Amino acid sequence: MKVLPSDKIKEALNILAGEAKVYAPMVQGDASGYFRWSDNSIGELALDILNTYMSPKNIVMPQTEDMYKFVAPGKDAQVTEIVYAEGPRIIFGIRSCDLQALHDLDLVFLTKGYEDEFYKARRKDLAVIARACYQPGPACFCESMGVDRLNPQADVVMHDLGQQDFAWEPKTPKGEEITAKLQGILVEKDVTLPQAAEMRTKVDITGLSEKLAGMFENPVWDELSSRCMNCGVCTYVCPTCYCFDIQVTTRGDAGSRFRCWDSCMYKEYTQMAGGHNPREYKKERFRQRFLHKLQYFNERYNANLCIGCGRCVIMCPNAVNILEVITKLKEVRLDA
């Protein structure tokens, strides 16, 4: 099997970055995420950490993106449509859970008879080099959400052999093309793939989506939402949250319309122009988040919108835990 030696990883990234925009897990100060790789990249490559705080979602769905620009000096306005053509791009070292999140976003933005042109342009020439996950963390529960952590659907799958050597397994024609570019670096070795550690955290979601269809008015939501502060941090670190707002900015006669990440946890998200708000209270916004993750998305796409990465569990400042929420929802008796 082909192997990428640890002392050749940065060289491999430099080769790939010569022909494509490459995004890799990196630490920049107190932040970690998937940042653009180059010879003068700010920050340190972070293949040794389990998950970056911020997922690679921003690569296909930027936190802020212009939709069109306009100039209106008088009664006439000139509108310039923005067409994104990113060209070849590569995500290097993405975990199986985050890759599943990309597949979920594909369902939202590229299926059901509508294609989002901005998302489509960023996804079009994107190649994915994923890492099989043999050592899950204490907050990880991806297998419970149906994620294949050892054989992700990627162009290339890397298997951690220890000491940051990686077995290299191309899976698609695009993966073979990437592999060909690294022929001078990859070496042939007889390798034994590591033994996968058992998931320490598990949760049973069998039948939960169907059960939730009859729990909209259940009083359990009052109890479950009591600790939530509606700060929205869970939605911003979540790889599958895709709510966005559309705004206009102007300066003088010129301006642009842009969209940016938003959160269903914020009161303003559903505030209507006439003043009515269908989710006026914290409980209603909390309920919406979990019904979307565990029921609505499953009903529409036959997939889970939670991918079990554990970021929301780790980052919540008030210890709201989706695992506890699921367990409590499963325990509720609807015939009582």
Measured distance CA(145)–CA(309) in Å, rounded: 10
pLDDT of residue 300: 97
pLDDT computed for residue 159 by the predictor: 96
For the stretch 270-281, pLDDT in tens is 999 999 999 999
Is the pLDDT at 232 greater than 80, yes or no? yes
Task: Quickly count: other Cβ atoms within 10 Å of residue 170's Cβ.
Answer: 18
Rounded to the nearest 10 degrees, the angle between the axes of helix 117-124 and helix 96-110 is: 140
- pLDDT, tens digit (0-9, with 9 covering 90-100), for 293-314: 999 999 999 999 999 999 999 9
Please calculate the CA angle 184-185-188 and round it to the nearest 5 degrees. Answer: 95
Counting beta carbons within 10 angstroms of the beta carbon of residue 227, is it exposed (0 to 12), middle (13 to 18) or buried (19 or more)? middle
pLDDT at residue 212 tops 70: yes
When pLDDT is cut at 50, 70 and 90, the band that residue 336 belongs to is low
Give the C-alpha separation, 272 to 267, whole Å: 10
Q: What is the 3-state secondary structure (H, E, C) of 217-232?
A: CCCHHHHHCCCCCCCC
Angle at 115 between CA 111 and CA 117, to 5 degrees: 150
Task: Report the candidate in 106, 174, 103, 161 with the shortest Cα–Cα distance to residue 131.
Answer: 161
User: Residue 335 has what pLDDT?
Assistant: 78
Residue 322 confidence (pLDDT) above 80: yes
38-84 pLDDT, tens digit each: 867 778 999 988 999 999 999 999 999 999 999 998 888 899 999 89
171 — phi, psi (to 5°)? -120, -20
Contact 22, 36 (CB under 8 A): yes
pLDDT number for residue 116: 96
CB 144 within 8 A of CB 106: no
Residue 280: Cβ within 10 Å count? 12
Residue pLDDT, tens place only, 168-202: 999 999 999 999 999 999 999 999 999 999 999 99
Position 237 pLDDT exceeds 70: yes
pTM over 0.85: yes
DSSP states of 108-134:
HHH-TT---HHHHHHHHTEEEEEE--S
The residues, any chain, with a CB within 8 Å of residue 273's CB and separated by 6 or more, are none
Summarize pLDDT for 110-144 with one digit per residue, the tens.
Answer: 999 999 999 999 999 999 999 999 999 999 999 99
Is 112 within 8 Å of 75 (Cβ atoms)? no
